[in-house]
Copies of this chain bind each other. A is one copy, B any other.
């Protein structure tokens, strides 16, 4: 059995959202499972010394336009989120809390949270909004609310962020195929060839 692909993303990343709609199907075409690992891109911005792309002169305007154009190009529903970017501790902690119990339901929760933010305009940085999305999928709202404040759950996320950065992750989406790193939805064509050929 081949190693699963590892898919790192931040819940506030438009390119990560686009990638989330493609990655499982891409893996499946080559018999690969995909492990989803949300992280906090703000932590990597501190490590690289970079601001968010949209805050950079010249690059910011281009990037906002490219988010929407790339969504149309990939045929993915997208509404420019406001506010943007957002802190994503709440959705990421909710994810890892569910993930520790059931990986299939965790992925389903991630899909719903990304849709809430990038299609329905819901600000999932608010714990209450993340909890409402989870409740809609049958999760226990009171248990999740407690989990979001649980030091053990916070540590789960912190460890995942540190592990991602230790592996070299600095942007979203970031995919590992075995030990080969691919940054960006615009490397999915290279990922596909890598999977098809075993590396090039």
Task: Please tell me if A140 contacts chain B, counting CB pairs below 8 Å.
Answer: no
Contact between A190 and B48, CB atoms less than 8 A apart: no
Task: Please tell me if A67 contacts chain B, counting CB pairs below 8 Å.
Answer: no
- Name A158-188 residues within 8 Å CB distance of B: 165, 168-171, 181, 183-184, 186-187
Contact between A56 and B62, CB atoms less than 8 A apart: no
A65 to B179, CA, bound (A): 13
Contact between B57 and A168, CB atoms less than 8 A apart: no
State the majority secondary structure of interface residues on A: helix
Q: Quick check: which of A2-10, A69-77, A78-86 contacts chain B, the rest being far away?
A: A69-77
Contact between B190 and A69, CB atoms less than 8 A apart: yes
Contact between B58 and A165, CB atoms less than 8 A apart: yes
Given A56-B49, A57-B47, A62-B183, is A72 in contact with B200 using a C-beta cutoff of 8 Å? yes
A73: B residues at CB distance < 8 A? 189-190, 193, 200
Q: Which residue of B lies closest to A190 (CB)?
A: B73
| 7 closest A-B pairs by CB | A186-B186, A58-B170, A48-B56, A59-B170, A73-B190, A48-B57, A72-B200
